[in-house]
Structure 1
Amino acid sequence: MSTNKHQLIRYNKLDRCFQNFGKEYTIDNLLEAVNEAILDHDVNSSGVQLRTLRKDIAYMRSTIGYDAPIETYKSSNGTNYYRYDNKNFSINKSPINETEAEQLKKAISVLQRFEGSPEFEWVNEIAPLLNDKFGLKSQEKSNVFRI
């Protein structure tokens, strides 16, 4: 899924809603909660539509997303509500997925362009740490010439 406006805000708000076992969040409740979170961040935003919310939930459930155990339940009044089937699950506790790893690799690559500049000495320290922490292999080009 491509990175789009307020994507992380939406995912984090949905994560908090799905973790809340004290409330039964219907699709309308989720849409309202997500749009409130977006407006808190960007007052000029028009929020998202139901279609985007459904795609977000599908992405969070998918293996290329967060592989989140989001279940749909029937409430006593017959409406569907959503929550994690595991109270301890959170997308923020899960390891990074392939998409996030690719984005992180690209970010590290951009940062490494500044290596050697005095004002960017911190890049020399942070790039290897990020590579090690997230198990990313940098694609360094060798400067060794063979004759």
Structure 2
Amino acid sequence: MPSNKNAQYRYRVLNDCFRDKMHRYTFQDLLDKVNKCLYELGGSGSEIKTRQLRDDIAAIRNMLPKHEVYLETPILEGKKCYYQYDPVDYSLFDDDLTIEDVHKLTSTIDMLKKYSGFPSTTWLEEVITSLELRFGIKANPENLVSFGQNEQLKGLEFLSTLIDATINHATLELCYRSSKGTESTETVYPYHMRQYNNRWFLIGRKKGKTEVDNFALDRIQHFKVINAPFVSNDIADFSKYFNDIIGVSVPRKDAAKDVETIVLRFNPRRIQYVLTKPLHPSQMRINDTDISIKVIPTRELYQQIFSFGPDVEVIEPQGFRSEFAKKIQESYNKYFAVQDSCTIDF
């Protein structure tokens, strides 16, 4: 394989054309296809001429296994000549991506690019460029997909560095401000990054602790990678860690709660929304208005249910229903206490 990235990119494009069962490419088609991809990758001035394409085709011929795969003469059809591998399933590259795979990867790159506008995401730009070069594809330049990410959210500037630290098992010295406003500096071993409700969280273990904590990025004041031994994760399986909750707040072992079956009744006009956008993977439909979920009651669960306002009612279990009713009463008292204290003079 050539060391020149641009040449390898061209070979990828030609390789996909030669093994495409749905289309046949003439020499001019190949030139147009390669130049279109090169233009999308590098802009004007990156296109090639006829001579370069002939050299590329000759180079690919020389790479083919002798007496096994052929591209020695174009396939004749009428007055037109078409280039195609024989057998057509052959690929010059070991990854052997299908056309469908390429389309899926293109969509993935396109979605990744939506995050590339964030501060300090050079690493993501490099990954995208590497994928484009390696697989000879280019994401759709049109703005077809977007995410509801608040780019002004505090802490996003830490995202890429924290991901790097998590991947590379780097120990952190982290200054964190709690929800109560108190600040503390801790040695933290990062294990996992999670996004929930348009916020990012670092999941890790504090030095000397036996359980993991979550750190909202918008509450991290500053941090640095320190030269200290890293303590590996032997306490949480993050493929299952969040299975029993909504959100990121997993109860600690000393305050562990059991999973409960929560039954919720929705307004008939709202139930379809919940059925098409389940609250949790465990969600089951009971009847025309009721659904159930099996979760540990957490702060995020209350917030999720409250977001439906008067369109939802907690049916079971009775303890959770009573707790939810208390919170509704507290909210009610705040509004009507203000109303009752107002007097009108005539």
| 1:42-96 deviations in Å (ceiling 9; x for gaps) | 013340001100110101111xx34463241111x311110001122101128xx
**Cα separation, partners in 2 of 1:25 and 1:72, compared to 1, 3 Å:** same
Give the structure with the higher percent helix: 1
Partner of 1:6: 6
Identity of aligned residues (%): 29
The amino acid of 2:92's aligned partner reads I
Alignment of 1:96-135 (within 5 A): none
What's the TM-score once normalised by structure 2's chain length?
Answer: 0.25
> How many Å separate the matches in 1 of 2:50 and 2:44?
19
Partner of 1:72: 74
Indicate if the aligned counterparts of 1:27 and 1:82 stay in contact, CA closer than 8 A. yes
> How many Å separate the matches in 2 of 1:34 and 1:86?
22
> How many Å separate the matches in 2 of 1:27 and 1:81?
7
Secondary structure of the residue that 1:14 maps to in structure 2? helix
> How many Å separate the matches in 2 of 1:8 and 1:83?
19
Partner of 2:322: none
What's the TM-score once normalised by structure 1's chain length?
Answer: 0.55
> How many Å separate the matches in 2 of 1:15 and 1:2?
14
Quick check: 1:49 aligned with 2:49? yes
Alignment of 1:6-25 (within 5 A): 6-25=6-25
Quick check: 1:88 aligned with 2:89? yes
Give the structure with the higher percent strand: 2
Report the Cα offset of residue 20 of structure 1. 0.8
Report the Cα offset of residue 24 of structure 1. 1.7
> How many Å separate the matches in 2 of 1:19 and 1:12?
11
Question: Whose Rg is larger?
Answer: 2
Secondary structure of the residue that 2:83 maps to in structure 1? strand
Partner of 1:61: 61
The amino acid of 1:27's aligned partner reads F
Unmatched 5+ stretches in structure 2:
96-167, 169-346
> How many Å separate the matches in 1 of 2:35 and 2:44?
12
Partner of 2:336: none
Unmatched 5+ stretches in structure 1:
95-121, 123-147
Root mean square deviation of aligned Cα: 2.3
> How many Å separate the matches in 2 of 1:45 and 1:8?
18
Partner of 2:35: 35
| 1:77-132 deviations in Å (ceiling 9; x for gaps) | 311110001122101128xxxxxxxxxxxxxxxxxxxxxxxxxxx9xxxxxxxxxx
Indicate if the aligned counterparts of 2:2 and 2:8 stay in contact, CA closer than 8 A. no
Indicate if the aligned counterparts of 1:59 and 1:66 stay in contact, CA closer than 8 A. no
The amino acid of 1:74's aligned partner reads L
Secondary structure of the residue that 1:91 maps to in structure 2? coil
> How many Å separate the matches in 2 of 1:72 and 1:26?
8
**Greater relative CO, 1 or 2 (CA 8 Å, sep 6+):** 1
